Amino acid sequence: MPAEFKYKYNEDVILTYLQSYIRDTYGQHYVGQMGIQAVDVWKSLDIDEESFRSNIIKYAMRYKHKDGTNLKDLVKILHYTILLIDRNHSQEIIKAQV
């Protein structure tokens, strides 16, 4: 039996943290009573790709300039990147999982 894979840079721990952060966004104050998030509105207006990209840029530009090396900014960049991947590449990822 092969030894368990060990990540060198704690990627597994970071991904678990990111997954927990994303899960928590579904219950935060900006989610309406109907479970509608800003992302749902952006999708309905067909501006989701632009919104994801602009938020990635926004949080990347403010990293180190607002609250220093703010972990939350980096996590938001990753979250919006995941949303962009879902929008543009989810089918190929789903196919790759089969």
0.75 surpassed by pTM: yes
Question: In terms of DSSP H, where are the helices of 1-70?
Answer: 11-25, 38-44, 48-62
pLDDT tens-digit profile of 30-51? 777 777 889 999 999 999 999 9
Amino acid sitting at position 18: L
- The structure tokens listed for 29 are 């104050």
Task: Report the b/e string of 59-71 with b at 16+ CB within 10 A.
Answer: beeebeeeeeeee
The per-residue pLDDT of the chain, averaged, comes to 92
